[in-house]
Every structure is written in structure tokens, then in C-alpha cells.
Amino acid sequence: MAKQDKEATENKSNAKNTNGKAANNRKNGNDSEDTNNTSMKNQNEEQYEGSDQKDSPLYKFFLSGLKDMLYAENKLVDALVEMEEAATTEELKDAFEDHHLVTKKHVSRLKKVFALLNEKEEEKECKAILGLLDEAKEIIKSTEEGTVTRDVALIIAAQKLEHYEIASYGGLAQLAITMDMDKVADLLERTLEEEEATDVYLTEIAEGSINMEADEEDY
């Protein structure tokens, strides 16, 4: 009986130790899970820039500007095809074709900005871009097809569009920097640089040959 009592006591002790280890494991496992959940939460919070400023007037103005540019870029995607078809010289046609592809990239980049802000992709009618596009269409109608003079006019119309975009992206990028939205600012600045490069390229085309050829064109 004494031996049996001793064995029973040892079994109880072993069971206690086993249960204690299991409890510790469960506790450690829960702690680890809580840590992982906290880490994921922090990552999600970090993903959305400007989340602590969404009620501020400046953020709302900034978001409105992004919607304005999304509308403008989508309109430009179609307009650049028309401008390419209307152009006379192959050099200008190629320039419009290249910028058409770049503009599609700008649309995708703006969508990334909305995702970083955890905002819905929405457009807001941009009256400025509509006015500039109407002017470009009027230029096409009022100039003779197949003339270099039309190319001169198209370059001026295209640069007016570029200057609007440069002003818009420049301002929005600076606002993003002001509100400590570094990732958003980086994307907007990349688009700004591409818009500036397009503007310079159009000037080079005009000054390189097109303006002179138009000046020598027969009436």
C-alpha cells in the first residue's frame, strides 16, 4: 500500500507539472499571438498616410486636388490620341504617343496614392482641363490638316496642358510633404518630374525644326 501511495503521489506531481507547462505554453502562445496582432495593426496603421489628418481642411483640399487630377489625367489619355492623329510630323506624333503611355502611368500612380491614403478612387470634374482641351480641339479645327503650322499650334496647346499639370502636381507634392506623407509625396514628385520633362521635350521639338518649317510654309 505504501508503494502504491508513493506511485499515486508521483503521478499527481507529474500531472501537475505537465499541466503547468501546458498552461505556460498557452500563455506564451497567446502573448505571441497578441504581439503578432499588434504588429499587424501597426503595419496597417503605417500603410495609410495622413490618417490622423483626415478631418483637417488642408487634407480635404488636398484630397479634392487629387480627385481633380485623376479626372484630368483620364481625359488626357483620350485627348492625346486625338492630338497624335491630328499632328503632321512624325516627331510630334511620336511625342504624343509617348506621352499617352506616360499619362496612363500617371493614372496608375494616382490610384496608388489613393490606396496609400485609404481613400476611394474618385474623380472630380476639372473645369480647367476641360477648357484647355476645348482649346486644343478648336486648334485642330482652325488649322489646315497636313501643315506644320498645325503642329506649332498643337505644341502650344499641349504645353498649356503640361503647365497646368506641373502647377497642380507641384502644389500637391508640397502639401504632401507639409502633412508628412512621404510616400505620397514621392509618387507625386515622380509624376511632376515626368511632366516637366515632357514640357522641355516639346520645346525642343518646336525650336529644333517645327517653328522654322512653319515660318517657311506656303500660304
Tell me the whole-structure pTM to 2 decimals: 0.77
Contact between residue 194 and residue 106 where contact means Cβ atoms under 8 Å apart:
yes
Confidence of residue 112 (pLDDT cuts 50, 70, 90): very high
What are 136-189's pLDDT values in tens digits?
999 999 999 999 999 999 999 999 999 999 999 999 999 999 999 999 999 999
What is the distance between the alpha carbons of residues 43 and 187, in angstroms, rounded to a whole number? Answer: 20
Evaluate the CA torsion angle 205, 209, 210, 211 in order and state its sign.
positive
Contacts of 199 (CB under 8 A, 6+ apart): 159, 162, 163, 166
Dig out the grid coordinates for 167 from the structure. Answer: 502647377
Amino acid 219: pLDDT: 60
What are 21-68's pLDDT values in tens digits?
444 443 444 444 444 444 434 444 455 887 788 889 999 999 999 999
What is the distance between the alpha carbons of residues 194 and 171, in angstroms, rounded to a whole number? Answer: 15
